[in-house]
Structure formats: C-alpha cells, structure tokens
Amino acid sequence: REQPSIVRTYKDLGYNSAYVHPFLSSFYSRSRIYGTFGFDQMIFEDDFTVPVEYNGAYIKDSTVFNQIEELIKESDEPIYIHTTTMQNHQPYNTGVHEKELDNYLDNIKLTSDSLNKFLDHLSKLDEPTLVFMVGDHFPSFKNDENNVYEQLGINRSTCSVVFEQKYFMWSNYGQDYSEVPENKFSAFYVPYVLLDVIGAPKDTFIQAMTEKMETLPVYSTQYDSSVPNDSELDVLTYDRVIGDNISG
C-alpha cells in the first residue's frame, strides 16, 4: 500500500522527488517497495540519462553524482533526492591488489575524489542545497586468516562498533549545524534531524519523533541489548507500516 514517508513530507512542502539506485530494480524488491513511498521518479541501473561508467561490476559513484546534478538542473522546483550507491559494495577480491582491504581503499579514494568534484559543482549553484551522506553498513570481507576485522580485534563480543556509522552534512549556504545532536542517534531519526536543519514546519508526528530522539536517541537491540522495548515507537512503527495510519 502507499506508505506515509519523508518523501511525501517534502512533496507537501513543494519539492519534486527522485530515487537513484545504480543497480537492479528487483534487488531487495526496491522498485516495488520504494514505489509505495511517493517518489515522482525512480532511476535504476538501466534508467540513467547521463553517460554510465563502471568500476568492476558496479556503476561508478561519479556517474551517480552526475545523475543527481542532472536531476537538479532539470527540476524547476526544489528537489529531494535519495540515493543508494553500489560502487564500494563487496566483493573486494576483483581489484588489482591481492588484499581485499587494498582494493576497498582504492574504491574509497575514487569515491572521495568524485565527491569532492560533486560538492564543488554544488557550491556554485544559486539555490541552497544540503547534502547528507552515511554508509548503510560496513564492508564485508572474507572470513579467513587475513580477515580485516579479526586483525582489528573485532569479534562477537566487541562488534558493537560495526553498528556505528559516521555521517556528514554539507551545504552551499553556510548552514548552522549547532542544533544537530552531538551524541549517537539511531538512523531512523535522520529525516527529522534534516527537517530541523532546514527549518521545515513540523506536523504532530514529526514533532513527536523529534522529542522521542531527545529521550531515546538510540533504539536498537542489535546495537545495545540493554535498551528496553519502547511501546510508543513500536506502536507508531506498526501503525505507519501496516496499521491504520492513525498517527498520520
């Protein structure tokens, strides 16, 4: 069914919207599932309108950044763009190096260079633009005697760190980030942090989530099994995903 989503929040504010994923539309049923979120446009591996370059089996991040720039240029209205990249996904044993970590770091360097060029282009735009970037998971290296995580001392009892992802925000208009939480917070709060950063109006649900983040910034039993269940968050999740959307 159609899902209440942050995409629709931006659309209600007058934004166009697009989802960009440089891989198969069938992967994790993304076309079907993301199709319920309200995007005006979805671009998958075969839908790119800019020249496509590959790095091994995956489309380069530079191509994705070029596609985002094209979407911004084409839109007469403000635009909300969500993208999930693929360039630095496993496997890491297909590069020029023998060690997986070396191949992975080569790919990270490619992304870093492309991102720097992308942000330089965005800095020259006349319209205020905000970028938020975060990894969805750490790289998965082979489980052998040279496993990177084993060398770092990360095992079953010390693996909470792999549930922590660094993120960054960047803008071309000198945005003040002083209100962004300094402590760790769960990824599902990110949309409400961004809405707060841009000064967007808050409906009752968004205000409730913002307040919940202050009292329960991390809600993940995988990350911290000592965190007790929160019935309010559980009920809100059920309501918005498969319930009657009373909270909407």
Q: What 3-state class would DSSP assign to 54?
A: strand
Q: What is the pLDDT of residue 140?
A: 87
The count of other CB atoms within 10 Å of the CB of residue 137 is: 9
> With contact defined as beta carbons under 8 Å apart, do 135 and 166 qualify?
yes
Per-residue pLDDT of the chain (248 residues), as tens digits, is 899 999 999 999 999 999 999 999 999 999 999 999 999 999 999 999 999 999 999 999 999 999 999 999 999 999 999 999 999 999 998 889 988 899 999 999 999 999 999 999 999 999 999 999 999 889 988 766 667 888 888 888 888 888 899 999 999 999 989 889 999 999 999 999 999 999 999 999 999 999 999 999 999 877 888 888 999 999 999 999 999 888 87
Condensed to tens digits (0 to 9), the pLDDT of residues 12-53 reads 999 999 999 999 999 999 999 999 999 999 999 999 999 999
In angstroms, what CA-CA distances link 123 with 14, 95, 119, 131, 133? 23, 33, 6, 11, 16
What pLDDT, on a 0 to 100 scale, did the predictor assign at position 144?
63
pTM: 0.93
The dihedral built from the CA positions of residue 139, 144, 148 and 152, taken in this order, carries a sign that is positive
Q: What is the pLDDT of residue 171?
A: 97
Query: What integer pLDDT is reported at residue 210 of this predicted model?
Result: 94
| Tokens found for residue 234 | 């559980």
